[in-house]
């Protein structure tokens, strides 16, 4: 069997290192041809030595030079910056591009891979949040297949196999509830950054861990699901499930609920995408139901998680609203991680940005959309530039309020 060639964007992050662990387990099956990282160049150098890719991308020219000076692999092509990333995504010899970059920073490269007709294992949810409709129509025209890595979407994807989409009543995304699921709202004013970074079930990067604490992560996932599974927001529900064993469910019209279960380990959904439609005998800790004993489900308390509501509203509103919210959230979470604001300020600032967006959306349209001179000014994302402009507008508004 021909080994599957993999491009891994964001190879030193949480998704990237999990993917490489799978490659390490199945060297006869997978083979890395390209890697990228933004900052951790020393880790990337170790990955290059182990996996011998043909092409790598780093953040800056200086980092690229450092790699060239330190790596003795003659045929290695080193590129850098966003252009380099787009080049790697579209040009590296590859059967599957693992899009593991966090945030809006992953949008252009993911789009470039879709444009080039590459199959994608999509972990970068912002791609769908910022430009879901655009990405899907491009994928339909180039034949690019998008496989969802995000554990919830991967679970839904698996639960849809063999079923007709017209029989779906709703999909239910499970949420751990993050570190504050048992904290009464009255005590939220005492939350510290260290508390927020302590996720009960998953080990992830800092940005997504904070998004889990606010449940913005779940909100972005609702938007992602809306596009990936082509369902209106009203057919998407969120339930708190503290064990993170049921990764999500599909409810069908005859009363059947189909779910995917497993221990919270990202290697399982990543391996499903890598081997799709087959499965590999992955060495991961396996679920023991008798040991788990009980599974709990409870409703979301809206007052504790205003960010979820904001994202649902943005999803409902459509157009540029999700991109604006995402940009603002990335700026605000960054400020929070740097200790500039309190946990409760995250949702306060985002609410203010979205309120301003709704009031100002006419002027935003004129600022943002290339064809704003037309009479029917679109409140839609028609290009990657539109998506990034809307995201940028959200960031700027948040930055103004952070001052």
- Where along the sequence are the contacts to Mg ion (CB under 5 A)? 150-152
In the complex, what is the shortest distance from the CB of residue 59 to Mg ion, in angstroms, rounded to a whole number?
Answer: 26
What is the separation of C-alpha 35 from the centre of its chain, rounded to a whole number of angstroms?
18
Residue nearest to Mg ion (CB): 150
Closest CB 270 distance from Mg ion, rounded Å: 12
Residues 6+ apart with CB under 8 A from 363: none
Instruction: Quote the CA–CA distance of 6 and 93 in Å, as a whole number.
Output: 8
Q: How far apart (Å, rounded) are the C-alpha atoms in residues 346 and 252?
A: 36
Residue at token pair 């946990």: 343
In the bound complex, what is the minimum distance in angstroms from residue 398's beta carbon to Mg ion? 23
- Given the complex with Mg ion, which of 185 and 297 has the nearer CB atom? 297
**CA-CA-CA-CA dihedral for 240, 246, 251, 255, to nearest 10:** -100
* Nearest to Mg ion of 54, 124 (CB atom): 124
CB of 202 to Mg ion, least distance (A): 8
Is 175 strand, coil or helix? strand
Q: Within 92-180, where are the H helices?
A: 107-115, 125-142, 151-160
CB of 102 to Mg ion, least distance (A): 12
CB of 317 to Mg ion, least distance (A): 22
Nearer to Mg ion, 246 or 388 (CB): 246
**Closest by Cα among 305, 291, 285 to 217:** 305
Minimum CB distance to Mg ion smaller for 151 or for 347: 151
User: Is the Cβ of residue 152 or residue 243 nearer to Mg ion in the bound state?
Assistant: 152
**Residue 228 C-beta: closest distance to Mg ion, Å:** 12
Q: How far is the CB of 106 from Mg ion (least distance, A)?
A: 15
Residue with tokens 């690019």, as numbered in its chain: 144
Instruction: Name which of 84 and 219 has its Cβ closer to Mg ion.
Output: 219
Taking CA atoms, 136 is separated from 6, 29, 224, 366, in Å, by 21, 28, 11, 25
Nearest-5° Cα angle at 310, 248 to 228 = 40
Q: Are 274 and 172 within 8 A, CB to CB?
A: no
Strand stretches in 37-193, DSSP E? 55-58, 77-80, 96-99, 119-122, 146-148, 168-175
Q: Which is nearer to Mg ion, 209 or 397 (CB)?
A: 209
Distances (CA, A) of 346 to 69, 104, 303, 321, 327: 43, 18, 14, 17, 13
In this complex, which beta carbon is closest to Mg ion, that of residue 85 or of residue 123? Answer: 123
Residue 30: CB minimum distance to Mg ion, A: 23
Select 150 or 391, whichever has its Cβ closest to Mg ion.
150
**Contact by Cβ (8 Å): 44, 299:** no
């Amino acid at each position: 069997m021909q080994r599957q060639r993999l491009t891994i964007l964001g190879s030193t992050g949480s998704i990237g290192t999990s993917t490489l662990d799978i490659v390490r387990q199945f060297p006869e099956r997978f083979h890395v041809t390209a890697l990228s990282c933004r900052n951790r160049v020393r880790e990337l150098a170790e990955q290059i030595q182990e996996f011998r890719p043909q092409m790598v991308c780093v953040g800056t020219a200086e980092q690229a030079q450092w790699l060239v000076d330190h790596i003795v692999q003659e045929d290695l092509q080193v590129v850098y910056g966003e252009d380099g990333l787009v080049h790697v995504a579209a040009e590296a010899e590859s059967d599957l591009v693992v899009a593991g970059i966090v945030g809006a920073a992953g949008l252009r490269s993911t789009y470039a891979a879709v444009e080039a007709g590459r199959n994608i294992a999509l972990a970068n949810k912002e791609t769908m949040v910022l430009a879901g409709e655009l990405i899907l129509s491009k994928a339909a025209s180039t034949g690019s297949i998008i496989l969802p890595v995000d554990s919830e979407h991967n679970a839904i994807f698996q639960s849809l196999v063999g079923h007709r989409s017209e029989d779906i009543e709703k999909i239910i995304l499970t949420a751990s509830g993050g570190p504050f699921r048992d904290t009464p709202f009255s005590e939220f004013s005492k939350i510290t950054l260290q508390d927020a970074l302590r996720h009960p079930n998953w080990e992830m990067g800092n940005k997504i861990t904070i998004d889990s604490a606010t449940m913005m992560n779940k909100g972005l996932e609702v938007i992602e699901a809306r596009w990936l599974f082509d369902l209106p927001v009203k057919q998407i529900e969120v339930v708190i499930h503290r064990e993170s064993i049921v990764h999500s469910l599909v409810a069908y019209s005859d009363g059947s609920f189909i779910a995917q279960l497993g221990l919270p380990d990202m290697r399982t959904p990543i391996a499903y995408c890598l081997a799709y439609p087959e499965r590999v005998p992955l060495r991961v800790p396996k679920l023991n139901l008798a040991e788990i004993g009980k599974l709990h489900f409870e409703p979301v308390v809206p007052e504790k998680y205003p960010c979820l509501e904001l994202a649902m509203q943005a999803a409902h509103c459509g157009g540029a609203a999700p991109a604006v919210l995402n940009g603002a959230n990335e700026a605000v979470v960054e400020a929070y991680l740097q200790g500039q604001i309190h946990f409760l300020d995250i949702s306060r600032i985002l609410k203010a940005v979205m309120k301003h967006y709704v009031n100002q959306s006419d002027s935003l349209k004129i600022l943002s959309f290339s064809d704003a001179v037309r009479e029917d000014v679109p409140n839609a994302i028609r290009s990657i530039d539109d998506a990034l402009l809307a995201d940028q507008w959200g960031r700027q508004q948040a930055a103004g309020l952070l001052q």
